[in-house]
Amino acid sequence: MNTTRFSVAALLLAFGLASPPAHAEMMEKDKGMMQDKGMMDGQMTGTLTGAKDHHANGTVALTKDMGGHIVLRLENLKVDKVPDGRVYLAKDGDYATGADLGKLTTFSGTVEFPIPPGVNPADYDSVVIWCKKFSVEIGRAMFDTGVMKKDNMMMDRQKGMMK
């Protein structure tokens, strides 16, 4: 009887010692996959809103496509149909100094715009949809970077006040 208990304890101990490294390895792999998913889901996202008398709704995100290339993804898009709508990555909502990502031909649903070579998405904080033909803004989204300004102080939502 004691031999059986000892054998069972020895087997449990053996499997117990063998499992943690495998389990730890799986946890590290899952952690890496979660970090990759975080990148895929976009670190920079925003909500699209219409400008003046125009309607524009949806979300924008800088994310990666299936090939690993960075793209601007517009989801749940509902935008006024315009004849010459262009999508720009912009700084402070200024499309004129932004990067033109292409013509908007889909006005509802989901659409992706590849980020051209040489364009660093980190240099921009917003997306602007601009109608070139009528020189009018249709909508814009400011990226939610997790950092807010308050009384000339920078505040990270998770870390608190920063200088």
Q: What is the 3-state secondary structure (H, E, C) of the chain?
A: CHHHHHHHHHHHHHHHHHHHHHHHHHHHHHHHHHHHHHHHHCCEEEEEEECCCCCEEEEEEEEECCCCCEEEEEEEEEECCCCCEEEEEEECCEEEEEEEEEECCCCEEEEEEECCCCCCHHHCCEEEEEECCCCEEEEEEECECCEEEECCEEEECCCEEEC
The mean pLDDT value of the chain amounts to 76
Residue 160, token pair as written in the block: 């608190």
Residue 107, token pair as written in the block: 């006005």
Is this model's pTM higher than 0.85 or not? no
Q: How many CA atoms lie within 13 A of 24 on its CB side?
A: 6
Q: How would you list the strands of the sheet with 85-91, edge to edge?
A: 94-103, 85-91, 126-131, 136-142, 44-50, 56-64, 70-79, 108-114
- Is position 6 within any domain? yes
> Could you tell me if 106 and 61 lie in one domain?
yes
Mean per-residue pLDDT, 79-90: 96
The better pLDDT of the pair 45, 159 is held by: 45
Count of domains observed in the chain: 2
> Could you tell me if 52 and 37 lie in one domain?
no
> Could you tell me if 82 and 10 lie in one domain?
no
**Tens-digit pLDDT profile for residues 105-136:** 999 999 999 999 999 999 999 999 999 999 99
> Could you tell me if 88 and 137 lie in one domain?
yes
**Tens-digit pLDDT profile for residues 53-81:** 999 999 999 999 999 999 999 999 999 99
Taken as a whole, the chain contains a residue count of 163
> Could you tell me if 80 and 121 lie in one domain?
yes
Q: For residue 92, what are the domain limits?
A: 44-147
Where residue 96 sits, what CATH number does that domain have?
2.60.40
The better pLDDT of the pair 16, 121 is held by: 121
pLDDT score, position 5: 53
pLDDT score, position 30: 41
- Is position 85 within any domain? yes
- Is position 155 within any domain? no
> Could you tell me if 93 and 108 lie in one domain?
yes
- Is position 14 within any domain? yes
> Could you tell me if 74 and 55 lie in one domain?
yes
> Could you tell me if 8 and 25 lie in one domain?
yes
- Is position 158 within any domain? no
> Could you tell me if 27 and 73 lie in one domain?
no
- Is position 157 within any domain? no
